[in-house]
């Protein structure tokens, strides 16, 4: 816990001593990234630090009249695709061999080969029937998607990558 406090203080001193970027919005997100990285809950720390670091790196030349970033029509679809392909890199998952029933493997191979992922909710049901209770996997399969070839769950179940 002492290391987190030292890191937090070092981050704040960077801003207090004027070593931070001059863009106030970038400063805000950089400071937030430092603070979030010091969160004792590792999952929360990783999620929030990553989001704030991304905001820090975002070009802020196109702020609207209120000094805010305009909503991008491409941002959300791109984030959804990245999440489909990579999942959560801070919580790696491994497949339990007992989940790999003939039904699960048939569905995943069919989706992988056809590139038609409309059966993902059915895959979630098949995984549950096989004893899978991993929330990340089940939520991903049951979610709205999008799903593409390279989907982390399909690749995990097929042993690809």
For the chain, give every domain's residue range.
Answer: 2-70, 86-158
pLDDT at position 100 is 96
pLDDT in tens, 58-115: 554 556 666 665 565 566 778 888 888 888 888 888 999 999 999 999 999 999 999 9
pLDDT at 130 over 90: yes
From residue 101, alpha-carbon distances to 5, 14, 115, 131, 138 in Å are 48, 54, 21, 10, 16
From residue 151, alpha-carbon distances to 61, 74, 76, 95 in Å are 34, 20, 17, 14
pLDDT at position 89 is 83
Question: Could you tell me if 40 and 88 are in contact, meaning their C-beta atoms sit under 8 angstroms apart?
Answer: no
Q: Global pTM? A: 0.55
Percent of the chain with pLDDT over 90: 37
Give, rounded to a whole angstrom, the gap between the first and last alpha carbons of the chain. 36
pLDDT in tens, 140-153: 999 887 889 899 99
């Amino acid at each position: 816990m002492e290391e987190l406090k030292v890191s937090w203080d070092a981050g704040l001193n960077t801003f207090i001593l004027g070593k931070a970027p001059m863009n106030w919005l970038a400063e805000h997100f950089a400071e937030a990234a430092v603070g979030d990285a010091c969160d004792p809950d590792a999952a929360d720390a990783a999620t929030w630090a990553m989001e704030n670091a991304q905001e820090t790196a975002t070009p802020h030349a196109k702020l609207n009249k209120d000094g805010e970033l305009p909503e991008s029509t491409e941002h959300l679809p791109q984030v959804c695709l990245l999440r489909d392909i990579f999942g959560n890199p801070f919580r790696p998952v491994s497949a339990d061999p007992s989940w790999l029933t003939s039904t699960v493997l048939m569905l995943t191979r069919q989706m992988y080969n056809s590139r038609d992922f409309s059966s993902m909710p059915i895959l979630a049901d098949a995984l549950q029937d096989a004893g899978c209770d991993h929330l990340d996997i089940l939520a991903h399969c049951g979610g709205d998607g999008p799903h593409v070839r390279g989907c982390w769950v399909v690749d995990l179940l097929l042993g690809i990558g």
